[in-house]
């Protein structure tokens, strides 16, 4: 037993998304030493996806010049409702999963302990522990991509709430008369400022006859539109895209202001594909709008910033969870 404990320990952090799987291999100091990425192929069903997760972990270990028997634990983030106690994915619409026991499935295949958490929670753990060295007592993470998710660190610990669903920031209602959201409500933050919402607003505007240079690049249906395309259009002085991005930033600022009023964190960290692609266009508006919605005195010393971990926040968070499993 003693000799096994004295061997170098390695941990896998996995970010399981609707379109891609990413795995990072970490040493005991949480330094990233190997990486692998592959498409999820969710349409093939849960068993095929879990097999792909295993392959992605094996590829990342191979990339690190390590043997699988050197891996001590795995931390994995999955999109949607997750029960971290049992390691079950209760509902993951992006994967088409219901009640999938991800922890048990992976542990049976790999014979090592696995910790499962919601993807936005795991990204928040990564940001808190790796980027900010676990120092902030109270941190809110907001991730703006295809949808909008969040994570809460309160009193130094991840806060998951009564039903373990806390942090659903994307479903805070910002405009009661706003557009329908996929969750069934109207005017959710996600329905106003996510990548999906922005793309929908742009397509609607084009249908109404408004002009954008993106139709010259991608055709009238805006096929293959990406976040980076929005930035390119703004750089070329596209007024329509600029106004829609400014509006999304404004809604995001309102959401940030609300969260600061309610939770009074010392740090609000924004990430996700939209923020990554449009940080220069959005962050100043987000900060300014948030400041104008914060109660007097509430915002003192509160910092609103952007994560530097980008897409890797989830794998770092997975590494943190994996290391905790072994230390417990």
Short-list 275, 297, 246, CA closest to 123: 275
Nearest Cα neighbor of 216 from 194, 243, 235, 238 is 238
Supply the range of the domain harboring residue 298. 134-308
What's the pLDDT tens digit per position in 102-130?
999 999 999 999 999 999 999 999 999 99
Over range 149-158, report the average pLDDT.
96
The 10 Å Cβ neighbour count of residue 194 is 28
pLDDT value at 5 more than 60? no
Residues 279 and 138 in one domain: yes
Same domain, 90 and 140: no
Domain count, the chain: 2
> If you average pLDDT over residues 15-30, what whole number do you get?
94
288 and 270 housed in the same domain? yes
Q: What is the mean predicted confidence (pLDDT) over 56-66? A: 97
Q: Do 169 and 79 lie in a common domain? A: no
Residues 180 and 195 both lie in one domain:
yes
Rounded to whole angstroms, the Cα distance separating 26 from 28 reads 7
pLDDT of residue 47: 96
Q: What pTM value is reported for the model? A: 0.91
Residues 167 and 87 in one domain: no
Q: Name the helix (H) or strand (E) containing 91.
A: strand 88-92
pLDDT band at 18 (very low <50, low <70, confident <90, very high): confident
Q: Please indicate, yes or no, whether residues 264 and 318 belong to a single structural domain of this protein.
A: no
Judged against a pLDDT cut of 80, whether residue 3 lies above it is answered with no
- Read off the pLDDT band of 294 (50, 70, 90): very high
Residue 328's pLDDT is 58
CATH number reported for the structural domain that contains residue 155 in this entry? 3.30.420.40
Confidence of residue 1 (pLDDT cuts 50, 70, 90): very low
303 and 192, same structural domain?
yes
Cα 153 from chain centroid?
15
Residues of the chain with pLDDT > 70: what percent? 98
Same domain (yes/no): 63, 141: no
Strands 303-306 and 267-271: parallel
Q: How are beta strands 88-92 and 81-83 bridged, if at all?
A: antiparallel
What pLDDT was estimated at residue 126? 96
Helix, strand, coil shares of the chain, percent, nearest 5, are 45, 25, 30
Give the separation between CA 195 and CA 198, rounded to whole angstroms.
5
Q: Could you report the per-residue pLDDT of 181-210, keeping only the tens digit for each?
A: 988 899 999 999 999 999 999 999 999 999
Mean pLDDT rounded to a whole number for the chain:
94
261 lies in the same domain as 155: yes
Q: Do 85 and 155 share a domain, yes or no? A: no
Shared-domain flag, residues 284 and 149: yes
Per-residue confidence band for 163, with pLDDT thresholds at 50, 70 and 90 = confident
């Amino acid at each position: 037993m003693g000799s096994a404990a004295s061997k170098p320990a390695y941990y896998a952090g996995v970010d399981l998304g609707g379109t891609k799987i990413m795995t990072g291999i970490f040493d005991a100091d949480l330094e990233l030493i190997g990486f692998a990425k592959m498409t999820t192929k969710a349409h093939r069903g849960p068993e095929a996806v879990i097999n792909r997760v295993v392959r992605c972990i094996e590829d990342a270990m191979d990339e690190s010049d390590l043997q699988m028997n050197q891996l001590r634990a795995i931390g994995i983030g999955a999109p949607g409702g997750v029960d971290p106690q049992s390691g079950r994915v209760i509902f993951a619409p992006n994967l088409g999963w219901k009640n999938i026991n991800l922890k048990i499935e992976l542990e049976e295949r790999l014979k090592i302990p696995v910790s499962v958490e919601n993807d936005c929670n795991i990204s928040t753990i990564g940001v808190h522990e790796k980027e900010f060295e676990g120092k902030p007592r109270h941190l809110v993470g907001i991730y703006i991509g295809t949808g909008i998710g969040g994570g809460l660190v309160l009193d130094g610990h991840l806060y998951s709430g009564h039903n373990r669903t806390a942090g659903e920031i994307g479903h805070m209602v910002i405009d009661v008369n706003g557009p329908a959201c996929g969750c069934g409500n109207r005017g959710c933050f996600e329905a106003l400022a996510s990548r999906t919402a922005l793309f929908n607003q742009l397509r609607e505007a084009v249908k109404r006859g408004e002009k954008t240079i993106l139709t010259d690049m991608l055709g009238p249906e805006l096929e293959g539109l990406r976040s980076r395309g929005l930035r390119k259009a703004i750089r070329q002085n596209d007024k329509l895209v600029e106004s829609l991005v400014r509006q999304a930033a404004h809604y995001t600022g309102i959401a940030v202001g609300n969260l600061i009023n309610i939770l009074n964190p010392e740090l609000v960290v924004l990430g996700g594909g939209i923020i990554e692609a449009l940080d220069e266009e959005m962050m100043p508006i987000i900060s300014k709008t948030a400041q104008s919605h914060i109660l007097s005195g509430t915002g003192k010393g509160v910092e609103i910033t952007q994560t530097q971990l980008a897409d890797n926040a989830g794998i770092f968070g997975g590494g943190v969870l994996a290391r905790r499993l072994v230390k417990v």
